[in-house]
Amino acid sequence: MKGADKLSVEVEVIPALREQEFILANLLQLYAYDFSEFHEVEIGSDGRFTYRDLPLYWSEEGRHAFLVRVDTKLAGFVLVKKGSEVSGDDATWDMAEFFVLRGYRRRGLGTRVAEEVWRRFPGPWEVRVMETNVAARAFWQRAISGFLLQEILPRRISFRDEWRWLFAFESRLNGPSS
């Protein structure tokens, strides 16, 4: 993958099956480790991070788990849920978790994955970014602005006793992003 032309790779966003939950749980270890740079994340006595909501992605309506593959190789995951964590609006899609393995970053792959997800779920969207995660804020601003074909700026909010950046936008079936 190193040095590969970002346009020549096949990127797939595949719904994760219930029997693939263990794959997501493994990827969540890497995600939580990366995330611990910006947020205090407790590791369990078994040496693993926990993500208590993961089973809900196969039992609760409005939750969707995806595996990301690049040229058939596992490259990340996306967790999407219906319902705003900020306003409580049930019609808003929430980018609950988004992870691309480090070796696949900075090649436009994350943007391609995000755009695929937004196209699958038209309607209002929210993406929250921790204030301390400067790189993620820049990524989401580029990705969302490129998807909408117009600049979008986040607004700063207090969320669960921390400052976050909130990107709120609309994904349309018939528009510049289709």
Q: Is residue 4 part of a domain?
A: no
Q: Where are the beta strands (DSSP E) in 56-92?
A: 63-70, 73-82
Reported confidence tier of residue 93, pLDDT bands at 50, 70, 90:
very high
Q: Is 6 part of a structural domain of the chain?
A: no
Asked if the model's pLDDT at residue 175 lies above 60, the reply is: no
Q: Is residue 47 included in any domain, yes or no?
A: yes
The reported pLDDT for the residue numbered 172 is 86
Per-residue pLDDT, averaged over 146-159, amounts to 93
- Using pLDDT thresholds of 50, 70 and 90, give the confidence band for residue 1: very low
Residue 102: per-residue pLDDT: 87
Residue 3 inside a domain? The answer is: no
Q: Pick the residue with more confidence: 136 or 38?
A: 136
Inside any domain, residue 137: yes
- The verdict on residue 65 lying in a domain is yes
Mean per-residue pLDDT of the chain: 88
The pLDDT of residue 39 is 62
Domain of 136, CATH number, reads: 3.40.630.30
User: Tens digit of pLDDT for each residue in 4-40?
Assistant: 445 588 999 999 999 999 999 999 988 777 766 666 6
- The pLDDT of residue 58 is above 60: yes
More confident residue, 32 or 70: 70
Bridge partner residues of 162 (DSSP): 159
| pTM (global) more than 0.75 | yes
Assess whether pLDDT exceeds 70 at residue 57: yes
Instruction: Count the domains in the chain.
Output: 1
Q: What is the pLDDT of residue 176?
A: 53
Task: Using pLDDT thresholds of 50, 70 and 90, give the confidence band for residue 177.
Answer: very low
Q: Is residue 1 part of a domain?
A: no
The verdict on residue 95 lying in a domain is yes
Q: Examine the pLDDT at 68 and tell me if it is beyond 90.
A: yes
Mapped onto helix, strand or coil, the DSSP state of residue 124 is: strand
> Do the beta carbons of residue 35 and residue 42 sit within 8 Å?
no
The pLDDT value recorded for residue 109 is 92
| Domain that includes residue 151, residue range | 11-171
What angle is formed at CA 67 by the lines to CA 171 and CA 24, rounded to 5 degrees? 120
Contact between 6 and 109 under an 8 Å Cβ cutoff? The reply is yes
